[in-house]
Amino acid sequence: MKFAVLVFPGSNCDIDCYKAVEDGLGESVDYVWHTATDLSAYDCIIVPGGFSYGDYLRCGAISRFAPVMNEVAKAAEQGKYVLGICNGFQILTEAGLLPGTLRRNMSLKFRCHDTVLRVDNNENPFTSLYAAGEEITIPIAHGEGNYYCDEATLAELQQNKQIIFRYTDNPNGSVDNIAGISNQRGNVVGMMPHPERAIDAVLGSVDGKKMFTSILKAWRDRHESASVR
């Protein structure tokens, strides 16, 4: 399996994501600059956290127009896996690949600490190795992680089981305690907490590693099924 970690001016979690794949999975991974116009070689695209373009205008509002995002949209349409973490989640909502938006934290303060999430949907390619309802410890680091959508969109997310993670103790005011969501197809996931910072005991938690191993399992299962046919 081959992973791409996108890099925008101002990205600062790209190395963390790269190491999560390289050391945590032992799979092939490349950094891909925001001007790239071809992602056809990759099976999973990670849009990392940071402060792309300094978070000017709105978080992710400028990155959304980077050439590589056209390719991310194509990859998502082809059914490839796309994971947006923190600023990456913000970019995916700005690009229209995920519904809703991220607003300033209710406290108006930057929050940086461990938080407990509940796995609300473990029937997703990104979460299949977690148990339904499992509580996991994943760090957050954001000032604009307050997920918001209108009532109609929230009803759709709930009905379609697109809410992947919820906070057990909401740190930012997100509607319905939402910490992570998927698109309807389930191959695009965005979340504010940082699973790449929870893949080794030395970091304080290994609870994020199952997300990456779940992606690998989903890819292998898909290819084994295709080879049987």
Q: How far is CA 215 from CA 152, 195, 203, in A?
A: 30, 13, 21
**Whole-angstrom Cα distance, residue 28 to residue 157?**
33
**Whole-angstrom Cα distance, residue 59 to residue 207?**
27
Question: Has 77 been annotated as catalytic?
Answer: no
Q: Which of 187, 197, 46 is nearest to 127 (CA)?
A: 187
User: What order of strands is seen across the sheet that includes strand 135-142?
Assistant: 28-33, 2-7, 44-47, 81-85, 188-191, 178-182, 163-167, 111-119, 135-142
Q: Which of 15, 34, 18, 38 is nearest to 26 (CA)?
A: 18
Bridge-partner residues for 12, per DSSP?
Answer: none
Catalytic residue among 86, 94, 142, 149: 86
Question: Has 86 been annotated as catalytic?
Answer: yes
Question: Has 224 been annotated as catalytic?
Answer: no
**Residues 43 and 83 sit within 8 Å (Cβ to Cβ):** no
Known catalytic residues are 86, 194, 196
